[in-house]
Structure 1
Amino acid sequence: MQDDKTGGVPIRTVKSFLSKIPSVVTGTDIVQWLMKNLSIEDPVEAIHLGSLIAAQGYIFPISDHVLTMKDDGTFYRFQAPYFWPSNCWEPENTDYAIYLCKRTMQNKARLELADYEAENLARLQRAFARKWEFIFMQAEAQVKIDRKKDKTERKILDSQERAFWDVHRPVPGCVNTTEMDIRKCRRLKNPQKVKKSVYGVTEESQSQSPVHVLSQPIRKTTKEDIRKQITFLNAQIDRHCLKMSKVAESLIAYTEQYTEYDPLITPAEPSNPWISDDVALWDIEMSKEPSQQRVKRWGFSFDEILKDQVGRDQFLRFLESEFSSENLRFWLAVQDLKKQPLQDVAKRVEEIWQEFLAPGAPSAINLDSHSYEITSQNVKDGGRYTFEDAQEHIYKLMKSDSYARFLRSNAYQDLLLAKKKPESEQGRRTSLEKFTRSVGGSRWASGSYSFMVRPSWTVIELPQWYVKTAMATGGSGESVALPWAAWLRHSTVLCRI
């Protein structure tokens, strides 16, 4: 990107009034180069990528402390490899103090300190009061060396040094990209690694710095540390890992399974009462008979049936038929215990123990010896989580045994089929009404209301008040299916007024 000879961004010297700006590129050139060489179609994406590169300090604006990329004629300069963040710099506040002192010694407008830099210099001067003379001498030595360099070279080096400190001591309000560097996190685990100094200052500072916290003293690795590390590595070996392809397949399967239950993807049936005026959804929820969609969801996982109140009731009824309802009742009792007020916890713990776990308990549950011993110790100092191990054991037992048998049972299958019967009856009733509307009737003598069934059916005389009721229901001139005529097996009494 920087090499102009191999197709990089063109670097040039810009002439301005009475001066020259050496080795600069414009923001537009950088954005166009990124779009061309990285096949980026959106300019916004190219600007974002350029801003990320600039935030790390590899590219910087020559006249601004805020490291960002703009798609305009703003001049940028490439950072020298010596100052790249990839060199794992971790500069001390002593180096920062030398840099700020050096800036104040040079009477040039472009090297004047910004307001936040002047405040940082004042804080550092108070913090390093005892060794400020040493810092000042180092700054003077650096200034003498810089004055011997060429003017153009010195101008470029000053801007690169400023950009380096804009990365490691950024402007207030800007993100410090070096705070959560993975290399630094690794270095904290290996404190034997010596920090590098920007200006070669090797004297360690023991005073507390206002900007940087000193690292902990180095200690030798002990046998206990080695044992902990071995234990950790053994645990990592036994850790169950999944391939990304398997994780993606699992997420896709989960999404497809719950699509019809997501109202944002699939419209709810019946509609949401808060949006429409239809309260059928609330009526269904209040009814004791669950919908087919609700029953189907119980088969997704054991947690689904436990979350649903009606599902728990149906599952409890099934367990009672198999004389094993104590498992679910114990699990529900422990769940209720976690919600009890603190003053009632001890009493409720004792009640659960006497009912399910004590010797000769009326509803004894089957626990393994390990869980029983832990629970027995926990009961002595009862709390909300006294039965945590026992509850987990019972949960796994029901999930692997009782829940699987419930899904295969006639009780669950009948619930699935029970919701299909009303739909079929409704469909048959609708077809019958369509048939009756397609069949014509006859109008008889005025003043008498006659009803006829076709093709060779009997004419039935009805009282006038019933016909008026039928007219109010079906409308004048329409075929009306009368409810009292249900005794007719394959026909419906029709009327025309």
Structure 2
Amino acid sequence: MFVIPRKGKQYTWEVLLLHRVTSFPSQTMSLPSRMTGHSIVFRHHTFGLQTAGNQKTQITENLARLQRAFARKWEFIFMQAEAQVKIDRKKDKTERKILDSQERAFWDVHRPVPGCVNTTEMDIRKCRRMKNPQKVKKSVYGVTEESQPQSPVHLPSQPVRKTTKEDFRKQITFLNMQIERHCLKMSKVAESLIAYTEQYVEYDPFITPAEPSNPWISDDAALWDIEMSKEPSQQRVKRWGFSMDEVLKDPVGRDQFLRFLESEFSSENLRFWLAVQDLKKRPLQDVTTRVEEIWQEFLAPGAQSAINLDSHSYEKTSQNVKDPGRYTYEDAQEHIYKLMKSDSYARFLRSNAYQDLLLAKKKPENEQGRRTSLEKFTRSMGKSLASKRLTGLMQSS
């Protein structure tokens, strides 16, 4: 142990681990592996004649162990410590007291003196032993200790509870649930989002200007005329090819799809799907009557427009009809939707009727209607300007 006499007092050197950048050590470090990034700082602590003997003994043992571990680098460590002490002497008294109290608090928590009561309610090392009972405990200085003393509060960890059959059952259930989850890679999700954005970019008015222009910000009402007309535009027909939902959302698309199904004598599927959609919007007092009507028309034995359902969906729907509600035909509707999507919708996209609508050019009457609306706007503006000029001339005269 180094003892330096100074003005009638004795100073003992205690080894502390401090980060070179921060002013306060945030965690314990393995010294041999991080010697380049950290410095060992010797901090002097004044002990009067009343200092307890066990503290001196502990400091002496720790210092001797460090001297043996770092015998080759001890001179370099000592030089660094002297430089740090010189820097600390230049600081004012208040700052030195704050740093000293921080260092004492750090070591009281992470390495309390044997035989002393821990300063915290729950010891940090005890918490670590409870969380990681199999983990090997290391010394604060990164050196294996010959004998690690334990304070009275540092009791040995509790024995690990053996895994029971119930624990294994819970783990198996959890793993089965994880297997059944539909997980997608982030790359696949990004690709699908990019493809969706590129597909709908020409229908987004914030990115692509609408043709014709928005009637809410311009005086062109051609857009409303096109929407009201039964002749769809080429862009509108192209959107039907994205998915079956686009066809069912568009009133004109539904009519065209229904005509195609009537030509193939399978329109009852779409009519059943539309009837169930209408049932979900009906008032509650009309639900029971409407459920019975749909059953008699599409599902009852000898129905006029019987639909093709599998046995499972038919049995479940038969049970639901006994307690009618808005979602009585949910399973049957889903089955018919999948049937139309896999069979009828694909044939509709390949049909001549859809191809003719897709390749058709824009109707000339739309252009004529646009010119007419522009002419009306020009005439109205001309009349308003002329009336303003006349009133101005009359006032001046």
Alignment correspondent of 1:88: none
Q: What corresponds to 2:352 in structure 1? A: 410
Alignment partner, residue 317 of structure 1: 259
**Cα distance, 1:201 vs. partner?**
7.5
SS at match of 1:300: coil
- Equivalents in 1 of 2:293, 2:154: separation in Å? 70
Q: State how far apart, in whole Å, the 2-side matches of 1:222 and 1:348 are.
A: 56
Task: Please state how far the C-alpha of 1:328 moved relative to its aligned partner.
Answer: 0.8
The residue that corresponds to 2:12 in the other structure is none
1:243 offset after TM fit, Å?
3.0
Q: Give 1:242's aligned residue.
A: 184
- Structure 1 Cα separation of the partners of residues 24 and 249 of structure 2: 60
Q: What is the Cα deviation at residue 334 of structure 1?
A: 1.3
- Per-residue deviation, residues 327-354 of structure 1 (Å, max 9, x unmatched): 1111111111222222222222222111
Q: CA deviation at 1:227?
A: 3.8
Calculate the aligned-residue CA RMSD, in Å: 3.9
Whether 1:368 aligns to 2:310 is yes
Within the alignment, does 1:422 sit opposite 2:368 as a pair? no
Residue number in structure 2 paired with 1:300: 242
- Secondary structure of the 1:258 match is helix
1:452-487 CA-partner distances (Å, limit 9, x unpaired) = xxxxxxxxxxxxxxxxxxxxxxxxxxxxxxxxxxxx
2:300 corresponds to which residue? 358
Rounded Cα–Cα distance in structure 1 between residues aligned with 2:205 and 2:323: 46
In structure 2, the partner of 1:287 is 229
Q: Deviations over 1:83-103 (max 9, x none)?
A: xxxxxxxxxxxxxxxxxxxxx
Question: Given the superposition, is the C-alpha separation of residues 310 and 220 from structure 1 closer, same or farther in structure 2, using an over 3 Å criterion?
Answer: farther
Once the two structures are superposed, what CA deviation does each residue of 1:3-44 show, in whole Å capped at 9, x if it has no partner?
Answer: xxxxxxxxxxxxxxxxxxxx999xxxx9xxxxxxxxxxxxxx
| Structure 1 residues 194 and 245: alpha-carbon distance in aligned structure 2, compared to 1, 3 A threshold | closer
For residue 394 of structure 1, report the CA deviation from its aligned partner.
Answer: 0.6
Partner residue of 2:194? 252
Structure 2 contact 230–252 (Cα < 8 Å) conserved: yes
Alpha-carbon distance between aligned partners in 2 of 1:160 and 1:382, rounded to the nearest angstrom: 71
Q: Is the 8 A contact 2:226 2:366 kept in 1?
A: no
Counterpart amino acid of residue 422 in structure 1: K
Deviations 1:257-296 (A, max 9, x none): 1110000000000111111111111111111111110000
What is the match of residue 466 of structure 1?
Answer: none
Distance in 2 between residues matched to 1:235 and 1:383, nearest whole Å = 32
* Structure 1 match to 2:42: none
Structure 1 partner of 2:101: 155
C-alpha displacement at 1:316, in angstroms? Answer: 0.9
1:80 to 16, 19, 26: 26
In the alignment, residue 258 of structure 2 is paired with which amino acid?
L
TM-score (norm 1): 0.43
Q: How many residues align?
A: 246
Q: Which has the higher contact order (CA 8 A, sep 6+)?
A: 2
Quick one: distance in 2 between partners of 1:350 and 1:369?
Answer: 20
Structure 2 partner of 1:340? 282
CA distance in 2, matches of 1:292, 1:323: 27
For residue 224 of structure 1, report the CA deviation from its aligned partner. Answer: 5.9
Cα deviation per residue 1:169-221 (whole Å; 9 max; x = unaligned)? xxxxxxxxxxxxxxxxxxxxxxx9599xxx99899xxxxxxxxxxxxxxx997
CA, structure 1 residues 220+393, in 2 after alignment: closer, same or farther (shift >3 Å)? farther
Q: Report the CA distance shift for 1:254/1:421 in structure 2 as closer, same or farther (over 3 A).
A: closer
How far off its partner does 1:424 sit?
12
1:326 Cα deviation from its structure 2 partner:
0.9
In structure 2, C-alpha distance between the alignment counterparts of 1:336 and 1:386, rounded to whole Å = 13
What secondary structure is seen at the aligned counterpart in 2 of 1:351?
A: helix
Task: List alignment gaps of at least 5 residues for structure 1.
Answer: 1-22, 31-75, 83-149, 162-191, 204-218, 428-497
Q: Quote the Cα distance in structure 2 between the aligned partners of 1:338 and 1:253.
A: 33
The answer to whether the Cα contact below 8 Å between 2:201 and 2:207 also exists between their aligned partners in 1 is yes
Aligned-partner SS, 2:270? helix
SS in 1 for 2:281: coil
Matched, 1:274 2:216: yes
Alpha-carbon distance in structure 2 between the residues aligned to 1:231 and 1:423: 66
| Post-superposition offset of 1:155 | 2.7
Task: Give the structure 2 partner of residue 175 of structure 1.
Answer: none
Q: Contact (CA 8 Å) 2:24, 2:103: kept in 1 or not?
A: no
Q: Kindly indicate whether the alpha-carbon contact (under 8 Å) linking 2:234 and 2:362 is maintained by their aligned counterparts in 1.
A: no
**Structure-2 change in CA distance of 1:153 and 1:384 (3 Å):** same
Give the unaligned 5+ runs of structure 2: 1-17, 29-95, 108-129, 134-150, 156-160, 369-397
Deviation at 1:223, TM superposition (A): 5.0
Residues 255 and 425 (structure 1), Cα distance of their counterparts in 2 relative to 1, 3 Å cut: closer
2:314 match: secondary structure: helix
Tell me, in whole angstroms, the C-alpha distance in 2 between the residues paired with 1:200 and 1:417: 89
Who is 1:213 aligned against? Answer: none
Distance 2:205 2:294 in 1: 40
Letter of the 2:217 partner, please give it: I
Deviation at 1:229, TM superposition (A): 3.7
The residue that corresponds to 1:378 in the other structure is: 320
Return the TM-score normalized by structure 2.
0.53
The answer for the alignment partner of 1:329 in structure 2 is 271
Quote the offset at 1:249 in angstroms: 2.0
CA distance in 2, matches of 1:423, 1:77: 80
Q: Secondary structure at the match of 2:363?
A: helix
Q: After superposition, where does 1:435-450 map in structure 2 within 5 Å?
A: none
